[in-house]
């Protein structure tokens, strides 16, 4: 069974701080997606990374896929209250999309 | 743009009762999915349908059945609800087949409580 562990599980920070969320596995994935989920809503795709070592930027969010395609990270610069939500990574393995355990982020003004 | 629509949004059942969660998408996607979301466990795949007329088990299929009624609609049925099925259920669709999963588009979720 392929597993994706995210850390930290919970993160509470002040507006303007930087943070990094990690998504780790012992399995290799052909691609990795990051979703954000707000309360009462379904997850919404933020980005897909495909190539080992790939870095993608989405405004203040930077996503990186590990060289071995087993892990990924999400870095947020100068977090804002609008970044509050549940962040989920999802790896495409053998015929299967596996979701991570999730990181719940709270950004206070 | 409706996207993926799920009904009902909330439901309370007693142990042993049955119910069906409905899902419809208007994006002409081939693939549809049912997930459950529990605290600290992310999203777990219950069943999926790669195309109209086909369904396959996911990670946690026990206690559930599905029907792909047509290309738009994919329903999830609980025949005899158990407290362990208390969860938030999400329907999703995607343009690609399960073997080349693209972006998943999710509904707003159905919160089910089994007493």
Q: What is the pLDDT of residues B34-53, one digit of tens each?
A: 999 998 788 999 999 988 88
Q: What per-residue confidence (pLDDT) applies to B71?
A: 94
Is residue B92 over pLDDT 70?
yes
Nearest CA among B94, B115, B112 for reference residue B103: B94
Q: Which of B58, B49, B37 is nearest to B112 (CA)?
A: B37
d(CA B81, CA A38): 28
Say yes or no to pLDDT of B98 above 60: no
Is a pLDDT exceeding 90 seen at residue B95? no
| Band (A93; pLDDT cuts 50, 70, 90) | confident
| Minimum CA–CA partner of B110 in chain A | A40
What average pLDDT does the segment B74-100 reach? 89
H or E, element range at B87: strand B87-94
Contact B106 A42 (CB under 8 A): yes
Chains A, B: CB pairs < 8 Å: 49
pLDDT tens, position by position, A5-43: 999 999 999 999 999 999 999 888 989 999 999 988 999
Q: Is the pLDDT of residue B100 over 70?
A: no
Q: Is the pLDDT of residue A72 over 70?
A: yes
Percentage of chain B surpassing pLDDT 90?
78
Q: What φ, ψ does residue B98 adopt, rounded to 5°?
A: -60, -25
pLDDT greater than 60 at residue B99:
no
Say what the pLDDT of residue B109 is. 96
Q: Which position has the higher pLDDT, B103 or B71?
A: B71
Interface test with B, best of A2, A9, A30, A42 (most B CBs within 10 A): A42
Q: Are B90 and B4 in contact (CB under 8 A)?
A: no
Q: So what's the pLDDT on residue A96?
A: 72
Mean pLDDT, chain B, integer: 92
Q: Report strand pairing: A85-92 vs A103-108.
A: antiparallel
Locate B63 and state its tokens.
């206690």
Contact A99 B108 (CB under 8 A): no
The alpha-carbon gap from A44 to the nearest alpha carbon of chain B, in Å, equals 7
Q: Which of A90-94, B71-75, B95-99 has the lowest mean pLDDT?
A: B95-99
Q: How far is A75 from chain B (nearest CA, A)?
A: 20
Judge whether residue B82 has pLDDT over 90.
yes
Is residue A95's pLDDT more than 70? no
Q: What is the mean pLDDT of chain A?
A: 93
- Chain A residues bordering chain B (beta-carbon distance below 8 Å): 4, 6, 9, 33, 35, 40-45, 48, 88, 90, 92, 95-97, 99-102
Query: What is the reported pLDDT for B50?
Result: 86
Q: In this model, does residue A94 exceed pLDDT 80? A: no
């Amino acid at each position: 069974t392929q597993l994706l562990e995210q850390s930290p599980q919970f993160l509470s920070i002040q507006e303007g701080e930087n943070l990094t969320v990690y998504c780790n596995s012992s399995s290799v994935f052909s691609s990795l997606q990051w979703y954000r989920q707000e309360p009462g809503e379904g997850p919404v795709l933020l980005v897909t990374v495909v190539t080992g070592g790939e870095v993608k930027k989405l405004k203040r969010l930077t996503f990186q896929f590990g060289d071995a395609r087993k892990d990924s990270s999400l870095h947020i610069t100068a977090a804002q209250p609008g970044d509050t939500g549940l962040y989920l990574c999802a790896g495409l393995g053998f015929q299967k999309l596996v979701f991570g355990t999730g990181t719940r982020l709270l950004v206070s003004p | 743009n409706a996207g993926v629509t799920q009904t009902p949004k909330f439901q309370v059942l007693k142990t042993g009762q049955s119910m069906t969660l409905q899902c419809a998408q208007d994006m002409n996607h081939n693939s549809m999915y049912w997930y459950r979301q529990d605290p600290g466990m992310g999203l777990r795949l219950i069943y999926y349908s790669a195309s109209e007329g086909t369904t396959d088990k996911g990670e946690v299929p026990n206690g559930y059945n599905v029907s792909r009624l047509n290309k738009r609609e994919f329903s999830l049925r609980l025949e005899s609800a158990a407290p362990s099925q208390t969860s938030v259920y999400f329907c999703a669709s995607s343009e690609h087949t399960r073997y080349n999963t693209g972006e998943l588009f999710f509904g707003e979720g159905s919160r089910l409580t089994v007493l």
